[in-house]
Amino acid sequence: MKRARKRARANKMGRSENQHIILRVVAKLLIPLIAVYGLYVHFHGDYGPGGGFQAGVIFASSIILYALIFGLDEAKRVVPPSWIRVIMTLGGLVFGGTGVATWLLGGEYLNYTMFAPDSTHAAGQHWGIFAVEIGVLLTVTSVILAIFYAFGSRGGSRRPNNAPNLSDEDKS
C-alpha cells in the first residue's frame, strides 16, 4: 500500500526523469532498428522469408514498444489514431486497386504480367507483387495499431493501484 502511494506521488511529480531510464535508453536504441528491420523484411520478401504481413507486424511492434515505454499519448502523437483509419482503408484499396489496374490494362484481375507484358524477366510480376505487398503492409500495420490503441486506451475499472500501467493516460 505504501509503495502504491509512493508511486502515485512519483507519477504526479513526473517520474519520467529517473524511473525506467535503462528501459528508455535501450528502447530508443532498439525502436529504429526494429522499424528498419520491418522495412527490410518487407522489401526483401521476394528473396528471403517475410513479406508484407510479417513486416507489418514488426513495424507495428516498434510503435507498440514506443507506446509501452513512453506512454500511449506519446505514441498517439507519433501515429495519430486518425491516420490509422485512413491507412487501414488505403491498404485494402492499394491491393484491390492493383487488381483493377491490371484489369484496365487488359488482363485478368490481379494478373500482374500486364504491368510489363514484354519483359523477359517477369518485371510485371515483380511490380505487381510489390504493389500488393505494400497494401498488405499498410493494412496489417494499422489494424494491429488500431487493436492496440483500442485495448490500451481502456482504463480497467477493476484495476488495482499498483498495477503496471499500459498507458500513462490515467496518471492524474
Partner 1 sequence: MSSLTPAFILDIGLLAMLVMVAIAVVRLRSLFAIVMLQGVYSLISAAWFVSLDAVDVAFTEAAVGAGISTVLMLGAMLLTEREVKPVPMRRQWAPLFIVVVTGMAMFYALGDMPMFGDANSIANATLGVEYVEATKSQIIIPNVVSAVLASYRGYDTFGETVVIFVAGLGIVLLLGLNGNAGRWRAKPNGQDISQIDEQDIS
Q: Which grid cell sits at 110?
A: 490481379
Task: Return the C-alpha cell found at 145.
Answer: 495499431
Distance between CA atoms of residues 149 and 164, nearest Å: 17
146 binds partner 1 (CB under 8 A): yes
Q: Enter the C-alpha cell of residue 134.
A: 505494400
Contact flag: residue 144 with partner 1 (CB under 8 A): yes
Interface with partner 1 (CB under 8 A), residue from 68, 69, 75, 114: 68
Question: Measured between alpha carbons, how far is 126 from 119 in angstroms, rounded to an integer?
Answer: 11
The one among 63, 69, 114, 132 contacting partner 1 by CB under 8 A: 132
Question: What is Dmax (Cα atoms) for the chain?
Answer: 75
Chain center to CA of 108:
32
Tell whether residue 97 is a contact of partner 1 (CB under 8 A): no
Q: Which residues bind partner 1 (CB under 8 A)?
A: 41, 45-51, 53-54, 57-58, 60-61, 64, 68, 81, 84-85, 88-89, 91-92, 95-96, 99, 109-110, 112, 121-122, 125-126, 128-129, 132-133, 135-136, 139-140, 142-144, 146-160, 163-164, 166
